[in-house]
Amino acid sequence: MLPNATGVHSMNEMSRNLHVVGADLPRTDAVPKTTGSATYTVDVSFPGMLHAKVLRSPHAHARVVSIDASAARGMPGVHAVLTRDDLDGLSPVYGYFIKDQPIVAIDKVRYIGDVVAAVAAQSEQQAVAALETINVEYELLPAVATVEQAMEDAAPELFEDEPMGIVPDYGMGASGYRRIGRNNCYRFSYKTGDASVAFASCDHVFEDRFVFSRDQHFHLEPFVSVARYEGDTIEVWTSCQNPFPLRKELARVFQHPENLIRVQVPFIGAGYGAKNNCKTEPIAILLAKLSRRPVRFCMTTEENFLTQSQHAAILDVKSGVMADGTFVARSGLILLDSGAYSDASPLVAEKAGYRLPGPYKWEHLDIDCDCILTNTTPAGPYRGFGGTQASWASESQVDIIARALGRDPMDLRLQNLKDLGETYVPGESGLDSDMRVGLNLVADRIGYKKRKRVYGCGMGLSVGFKDAGGVNKPAQARIRVTTNGGIYLQCGTIEIGQGAQTALSQIVAETLNAPLDRVSYPALNTDYTPFDQGTNASSAVVVMAQAVQNAAIEAKNKVLSFAADQLECSVDDIELKDWTIRKGNEAHPLPVMIMRYYGGTGYEFTGEGFCKAEMDHSAPLETKCVSWEFGWGAAEVEVDTETGLIVLRQLVVSGDAGRAINPKICRGQDEGSAVMALTGALFPCMVYDGANLMNGNGLDYRLPLASDLNDGFVSILQEQGHGPGPYGAKSVGEGCMLPVASAIANAVEDAIGVRIRELPLTPERVLAAIDAAT
Amino acid sequence: MMSADLFNVTFRLNGSETSFHVRPEEMLIDVLRERAGLTGTKLSCDLGACGACTVLVDGKPSASCVTFAWQVVDRDIRTIEGLSSGDGDLDPVQAAFIEHSSFQCGYCTPGMIMLARALLDENPNPNRDEVRQWMSANICRCTGYEMIIEAVQDAAERNRSSLYE
């Protein structure tokens, strides 16, 4: 079996008999979500609640000379107006590593849609009417709409002065920098070996530029929150996937004690990364403070487009290989279009840069990833988190290399992929899936090796890759079991659609030997729920699940210890099943034992659990990555060379759940992420005319529909058993985002001999590539 | 009495006759969510494009975000809340969505279920491609659609077997 030092777990850990884990039980949120009774933040309402709307900048870049909001204050139904004049006593600028985004514009506006003022009124219509009376005088500044423009020597700067911020500590080979170039808000670098020297000894060096498209999350529930500010207590109900970091940020912004800020999270109508950190909350809270009324701030779909997007990217990748196909060295420069504020860009840069090598046996790496500010919608976390951009470039170039060497792209991958358990880079953890197994699986399923070679038809493969579990992420969980065996699982993982509530509850039910319907999952309230860093980074099943399992084990041990005392026997002589203690042939119901000892009013057993990867300065990101997430993809396309249209005949994707806690939920993650990736691969994505977004609404923005797929779309769930989560589980939330675009582009080259390096793969681009090749 | 800019609309809502005084510009979804308290119907794109707000108007799927309240006078409106029977039995479409795990965040789900119900009322025996085309009226950003299609096919099956029971 594999050594533990690599962090790779062996198969025998999953061989026990399980009764709840691994079963396709209905999701625990099934009834509320299929009957309309599920409460989302949009459904939260209070007596006297006001509605907020915001005035947004019509200019991409301008100095705010003056704001006259006096007329708005007198408009019907208006209870509060918020401009930069109402920020006294606040630290009104937020962000992740870099605090640069103001609640409302202070000195400048930096993109079309930047928030300038806000109004709370009795209805949204009244708030909109009041906003129309606000006079803002702008002094227009030249704008930079693209990364190239923003990097020019004489380009106007979004920030003339350096905003407050930090560069985190990194370990071996990694480093971070701020403001090292025009409009450059962050650089992440990773180096190992000596790539520049190694290139000289390579037989072939390949240099390619790839361009990645900019999707918008299009979560169907908009950004929304409801705030109350009564006495000294700030209370906010919000559609937010990281409520504890949000609480911390709100405490800083409002200069307010954390214990007097209560964040509550009902069901979330999806986020895909967008619902991290401040969105609607500071404005709702401040308006609640000013109006002394509950305030609801719910954005429109159009406003979602003006609030958060994915990172467009330009990726220059240089790879040195030997004549026999051995991968030796790779360098790269990635430029991320960060939009107008730093947001999560430094973290995305970290991951895009770190993941650019892909899971291959390079010995020398030298990668920089820069975040470039532009006068466009701020880019932030988006499912795949830099891995999507990196996989697009990396997996496209692997095919380019294969074809240049006269090798089959699949064979070249099999030759160079790292092995199960092999460390990713020096100081890192071992890769916890066998990538060859996954690649063979999707290739066999699509019929890759037996494909007929007909011009216009082709197949392509890809191995999408990212780390999973976040960096240095602590998670805590608590289990409470009532006198009668009702179980409460309290933890900070948000049910955002991914099925974590069900999966984590299954782990608890398994551990406590109880039916799944005994486990409740109270909605998150930062006053009661144990701390968690956030529902992101595919961390629930590899980090939080360990904390949850630990908590359940502790609770179970307390129960067994109590029962053994009561029965005057050893804990080894008894078992817990359905809240009854079994001792040989005897059955002792626990409620009777508990009330006999603790009194008729009963008792609750509790268990606490914790999980965090150890700090490790030899690991490039300061902790070893908890796990690694893969998405294997195979695409078959038919390309119409007259119209440039790509018809996707088959799309086979596969993720490795390690051990699937709930196989249907895992399948939904694989298929949902693959279809989400189709947007960036084949559809127009966000179209800008200069700094003006042209299609930022539900009608003009083209999303994949059921009819865009056919029965050739298949997912295969693997359970290789090597994950760090309970029972060998691994994450599946993001993996199948990663291989789709490159698998399709690789299939297009297989079909018509033309390489397209720019996403999306629109008919125009296909035709242009055909023209360029002839 | 009502003020000059309000008028009375009467329609059947989940089987019961009901009336509201509405403003001329008031949308059906606002009446459902804010007046009738039926928050299962969800607003998303507000342009009639995504289908999250789908309800049945005389059995036809309709985007309640672009339907004026006055347009449903004397019509029969069904929302997700009216789909299960009075004694709580789920509609076969709801049961199939649960069994096939055909939802994730759940925000599009009420609209998807109403859309599927309308299909099966019109065509109790749709083939897979007919289901795929019909269900393309609504957007789901989470599931990738295949598990929704499977649920609708299964619901059709359940419908048919219940007819012959």
> Is the backbone peptide bond immediately before A26 cis, with ω within 30 degrees of 0?
no
pLDDT (tens digit per residue) in A368-404: 999 999 999 999 999 999 999 999 999 999 999 999 9
Domain B7-82: give its CATH architecture: Roll (3.10)
In angstroms, the separation between the Cα of residue B164 and the nearest Cα of chain A is 26
Q: Which residue of A has its CA nearest to B89?
A: A35
Inter-chain Cβ pairs, chain A and chain B, closer than 8 A = 166
* DSSP code for A162: P
Helix H or strand E segment including A468: strand A457-468
Which residue, chain included where needed, has tokens 């019909």? B134
Answer yes or no: do A35 and B52 touch at CB < 8 A. Answer: no
pLDDT (tens digit per residue) in A51-81: 999 999 999 999 999 999 999 999 999 999 9
* Per-residue confidence (pLDDT) for residue B108, from 0 to 100: 98
Longest Cα separation, chain B: 54
- The CATH number of the structural domain formed by B92-163 is 1.10.150.120
**What does the pLDDT average to over A79-96?**
98
**Residue B47 dihedral angles phi and psi, to the nearest 5°:** -130, 5
* Per-residue confidence (pLDDT) for residue B165, from 0 to 100: 52
Answer yes or no: do B94 and A34 touch at CB < 8 A. Answer: yes
Task: List residues bridging with A478 in a β-sheet.
Answer: A490, A608
Answer yes or no: do B106 and A671 touch at CB < 8 A. Answer: no
Contacts of A35 in chain B (CB under 8 A): 40, 80-81, 83-84, 90, 94
Q: Which residue of A has its CA nearest to B105?
A: A497
Q: Which residue of A has its CA nearest to B92?
A: A34
- Give the one of B52, B94, B145 whose C-beta lies nearest to A220's C-beta: B52
DSSP H helices, A580-654, are 590-598
**What does the pLDDT average to over A724-735?**
97
Q: Which residue of B has its CA nearest to A267?
A: B105
* DSSP code for A487: E
> Among residues A176, A264, A280, A271, which one has the least CA distance to residue A220?
A271
In angstroms, the separation between the Cα of residue A52 and the nearest Cα of chain B is 17
* Per-residue confidence (pLDDT) for residue A9, from 0 to 100: 46
Q: Which residues between 549 and 588 in chain A have a beta carbon less than 8 angstroms from any beta carbon of chain B?
A: none
Contacts of A221 in chain B (CB under 8 A): 42, 44, 105, 107
With cut-offs at 50, 70 and 90, classify the pLDDT of residue B161. confident
pLDDT (tens digit per residue) in A178-208: 999 999 999 999 999 999 999 999 999 999 9
**Alpha carbon distance A416, A430 (integer Å):** 16
**Alpha carbon distance A15, A285 (integer Å):** 51
ipTM (interface pTM): 0.97
Contacts of A38 in chain B (CB under 8 A): 106
Identify the residue among A25, A29, A33, A34 best suited for mutation to test binding to B, counting B beta carbons within 10 A and taking the highest: A34
Q: Which residue of A has its CA nearest to B107?
A: A269
Which domains occur in chain A, in start order? 41-141+223-298 (3.90.1170.50), 473-611 (3.30.365.10)
Q: Does the pLDDT at position A503 exceed 70?
A: yes
With cut-offs at 50, 70 and 90, classify the pLDDT of residue A317. very high
With cut-offs at 50, 70 and 90, classify the pLDDT of residue A16. low
**Alpha carbon distance A565, A557 (integer Å):** 12
Contacts of B111 in chain A (CB under 8 A): none
Answer yes or no: do B97 and A34 touch at CB < 8 A. Answer: yes
| Burial group, residue A450, by CB count within 10 angstroms (0-12, 13-18, 19+) | exposed
In angstroms, the separation between the Cα of residue B43 and the nearest Cα of chain A is 8
Q: Which amino acid is at B32?
A: L
* Per-residue confidence (pLDDT) for residue B160, from 0 to 100: 80
Q: Is A517 in the B-facing interface, judged by CB distances under 8 Å?
A: no
pLDDT (tens digit per residue) in A238-295: 999 999 999 999 999 999 999 999 999 999 999 999 999 999 999 999 999 999 999 9
Helix H or strand E segment including A353: helix A345-355
Q: Does the pLDDT at position A6 exceed 60?
A: no
pLDDT (tens digit per residue) in B96-128: 999 999 999 999 999 999 999 999 999 999 999
- Give the one of A36, A268, A705 whose C-beta lies nearest to B110's C-beta: A36
Contacts of B100 in chain A (CB under 8 A): 664
Answer yes or no: do A32 and B44 touch at CB < 8 A. Answer: no
Answer yes or no: do A221 and B40 touch at CB < 8 A. Answer: no
Q: Does the pLDDT at position A12 exceed 60?
A: no
Answer yes or no: do A703 and B144 touch at CB < 8 A. Answer: no
Q: Does the pLDDT at position A14 exceed 60?
A: no
Identify the residue among B13, B14, B25, B45 best suited for mutation to test binding to A, counting A beta carbons within 10 A and taking the highest: B45
* Per-residue confidence (pLDDT) for residue A8, from 0 to 100: 46
Quick one: tokens of A396? Answer: 């496209």
Q: Is A703 in the B-facing interface, judged by CB distances under 8 Å?
A: yes
pLDDT (tens digit per residue) in B73-94: 999 999 999 998 777 799 999 9
- Exposure pattern of A604-613 as b/e (b: 16+ CB <10 Å)? ebebebebbb
Residues with Cβ within 8 Å of A203's Cβ and at least 6 positions away in sequence, in order, are: A321, A322, A323
With cut-offs at 50, 70 and 90, classify the pLDDT of residue A143. very high
* Per-residue confidence (pLDDT) for residue B85, from 0 to 100: 77
- Give the one of B79, B80, B141 whose C-beta lies nearest to A220's C-beta: B141
Contacts of A699 in chain B (CB under 8 A): 45, 47, 49
Instruction: With H, G, I as helix, E, B as strand and everything else as coil, classify residue A164.
Output: strand
Contacts of B46 in chain A (CB under 8 A): 300-301, 698
Instruction: With H, G, I as helix, E, B as strand and everything else as coil, classify residue A34.
Output: helix
Q: Which amino acid is at A509?
A: A
Helices A281-291 and A243-253: angle between axes, nearest 10 degrees: 50
In angstroms, the separation between the Cα of residue A648 and the nearest Cα of chain B is 15
Q: Is A709 in the B-facing interface, judged by CB distances under 8 Å?
A: yes
Q: Is A591 in the B-facing interface, judged by CB distances under 8 Å?
A: no
In angstroms, the separation between the Cα of residue B91 and the nearest Cα of chain A is 9
Decide the pairing of beta strands B54-57 and B60-63.
antiparallel
Contacts of A40 in chain B (CB under 8 A): 42, 107
Contacts of B149 in chain A (CB under 8 A): 706
Answer yes or no: do B145 and A40 touch at CB < 8 A. Answer: no
Answer yes or no: do B133 and A29 touch at CB < 8 A. Answer: no
**Residue A473 dihedral angles phi and psi, to the nearest 5°:** -100, 115
> Among residues A92, A434, A127, A443, which one has the least CA distance to residue A298?
A127
**What SS3 string covers A173-201?**
CEEEECCCCCCEEEEEEEEECCHHHHHHC
**What SS3 string covers chain B?**
CCCCCCEEEEEEECCEEEEEEECCCCEHHHHHHHHCCCCCCCCCCCCCCCCCCEEEECCEEEECCCCEHHHHCCCEEECHHHCCCCCCCCCHHHHHHHHCCCCCCCCCHHHHHHHHHHHHHHCCCCCHHHHHHHHCCCCCCCCCCHHHHHHHHHHHHHHHHHHCC
pLDDT (tens digit per residue) in B56-67: 999 999 999 999
With cut-offs at 50, 70 and 90, classify the pLDDT of residue A2. very low
In angstroms, the separation between the Cα of residue A434 and the nearest Cα of chain B is 26
- Give the one of A40, A42, A219 whose C-beta lies nearest to B141's C-beta: A219
In angstroms, the separation between the Cα of residue B58 and the nearest Cα of chain A is 20
Q: Is A123 in the B-facing interface, judged by CB distances under 8 Å?
A: no
Q: Which amino acid is at B40?
A: G
Give the rounded percent of residues in chain B with a pLDDT score beyond 90: 88
Rg (CA), chain A: 27
Identify the residue among A28, A35, A43, A714 best suited for mutation to test binding to B, counting B beta carbons within 10 A and taking the highest: A35
Q: Which residue of B has its CA nearest to A495?
A: B105
- Give the one of B90, B106, B132 whose C-beta lies nearest to A29's C-beta: B106
Domain ranges, ordered by start, for chain B: 7-82, 92-163
Upper half-sphere CA count for residue B106 (Cβ side, 13 Å): 28
DSSP H helices, A599-709, are 663-682
Answer yes or no: do B136 and A707 touch at CB < 8 A. Answer: yes
Q: Which residue of B has its CA nearest to A496?
A: B105
**What does the pLDDT average to over A548-561?**
98
pLDDT (tens digit per residue) in A666-709: 999 999 999 999 999 999 999 999 999 999 999 999 999 999 99
Mean residue pLDDT across chain A: 96
Contacts of A710 in chain B (CB under 8 A): 132
Give the rounded percent of residues in chain B with a pLDDT score beyond 70: 96
Instruction: With H, G, I as helix, E, B as strand and everything else as coil, classify residue A447.
Output: coil
Q: Does the pLDDT at position A13 exceed 50?
A: no
